[in-house]
Structure 1
Amino acid sequence: MEGLPGMITDLDLLKQLQAGDEPAFKALYARHSRRVLAFAYHMTHSAIDAEDILQETFLRLWTGREQLPEIAHVGNYLFTIARNKTLDHLRKVALQHRLIDQVWANISETSNDLELQLEARESNALIQQALTQLTPQQQTVFRLSRQQGLNHEEIAAQLRLSKSRVKNLLVEALKHIRTYLSQHAVSLAILFEITHRHLIF
């Protein structure tokens, strides 16, 4: 696209973009958006996340148009921005999954570590919210298992249910809670950040 005779080049469009020309920006978007989107989707496996990365990449191009460095190949420059945006996204996702796993461990384990205890208290509100969406029987089985430490046989005897029924109820409850935590990973990350600040200060 940057050297074809009879066609305006990417570098020509870039010069117009630096002057605030919106049609030039739209032309660059039309030429390069599919490649950026395909890369982001390949890395994230999410159409929504890939679209967000695409928009952030071109927003960066537009908002930084007056301070653009010397660019030899516009496609490579956009790819570099998209790559960095994608890596930032993947780091955030990895952090969110790590936080979810920590809360998951706190559901079934008791720790003497002060930091883990604080994190468990901070995340308890989300767990309680998830519990309210369970059936009364699922809530009871979960609390007897994870909060009172009873095994399947003890729960079955107390509730007059079969052991297999208790196991199924617990599996359903745990699956729902983990899904709920995943859907609220951003809130969870904020809670953990607040907790860690309290520990430092």
Structure 2
Amino acid sequence: MPLMTDHDLLKKLKEGDEPAFRELYARHGRQVMAFAYHLTHSAVDAEDILQETFLRLWTGREQLPEIEHFGNYIFTIARNKTLDHLRKVALQQKLMDRVWANISEVADDLELQLDARESRALISKALARLSPQKQKIFHLSRHQGLSHEEIGQQLHLSRSRVKNLLVEILKYIRYYLAQHSMLLAVLFQLVCLKAFL
């Protein structure tokens, strides 16, 4: 029996044929994954984009247009999913930068009447419990103002790895403050909320 073409598989896919869908995934999934990884430099993000791309194909199967070249079609979906992802990452980074900027300025916020020395001391203690790598990333980001990419170059890490580590640092500081000072934990939550408004 001759091997079915992508065109034949697409016809079956439109009728809800799962084996046809799996075959298309098997034929094109690896290239889509490689494409997404090339743009995100993250295996986890590339895997998510791969799944979202083929999920879109499956959920929209009944409305599929006439497709001449399936490879081009699936890569168009993957490109759009990747661009969406990168926009989301950029937005999250802006929000996180605003959170840290608000933390830096919090000592000047008269409404909150916060003891800035207590705040700095607790944050320093929280950071001291983190790995040397995380401390270095925090210092490079918050004290030297380096971008994720610049930090990654210095420490031989990918940009997305630096971003993920900064998110972990932020979560840990929030947890540490909650354990040691109810006032600072509440303040930290307010600062985070302010950054998202």
> Cα RMSD (Å) of the superposition?
3.8
Structure 1 residue 70 displacement after superposition: 1.7
CA 1:36 to 1:180, structure 2 compared with 1: closer, same or farther past 3 Å? closer
Structure 1 residue corresponding to 2:69, chosen from 68, 73, 88: 73
Equivalent AA in structure 2 for residue 59 of structure 1: L
Distance 1:191 1:71, change over 3 A: farther
Residue equivalent to 2:138: 175
- Residues 18-65 of structure 1, C-alpha deviations (whole Å, 9 max, x = no match): 001111001100100010000000011111110010011001111110
Unaligned runs of 5+ in 2: 113-118, 126-133, 143-163, 172-188
Structure number with greater Rg is: 1
Counterpart mapping for 1:69-108 below 5 A: 69-108=65-104
2:58 to 53, 62, 83: 62
Identity across the alignment (%): 63
Secondary structure, in 3 states, of the residue corresponding to 1:109? helix
Q: Offset of 1:140 from its aligned partner?
A: 7.1
State the partner residue of 1:52.
48
> How far apart are the structure 2 equivalents of 1:172 and 1:138?
15
Within 1, Cα distance between the matches of 2:30 and 2:46? Answer: 11
CA contact (8 A) 1:138 1:173 kept: no
**Contact 1:14/1:24 (<8 A) preserved:** yes
- Aligned in 2, Cα 1:79/1:111: closer, same or farther, shift over 3 Å? farther
> Residues 1-201 of structure 1 correspond to what in structure 2 (within 5 A)?
6-109=2-105, 138-139=121-122, 172=135, 175=138, 182-183=167-168, 191=193, 196=197
Q: Displacement, 1:9?
A: 0.6
SS of the equivalent of 2:4 reads coil
- Are 2:52 and 2:81, in contact at CA under 8 Å, matched by a contact in 1? yes
Distance in 1 (CA, whole Å) between partners of 2:34 and 2:66 is 26
Distance, in Å, in 2 between the alignment partners of 1:180 and 1:35 is 28
Aligned residues: 140
TM-score normalized by the length of structure 2? 0.59
1:181–1:191 distance in 2 versus 1, CA, 3 Å: farther
Q: Determine if contact 1:17/1:65 at 8 Å carries over to the other structure.
A: yes
Q: Deviation at 1:109?
A: 2.6
Q: 1:174 to 1:58 in 2, by over 3 A?
A: closer
TM-score (norm 1): 0.58
CA drift at 1:79: 0.3
- Corresponding residue for residue 124 of structure 1: none
- Per the TM alignment, residue 175 of structure 1 is displaced from its structure 2 partner at its CA by 2.5
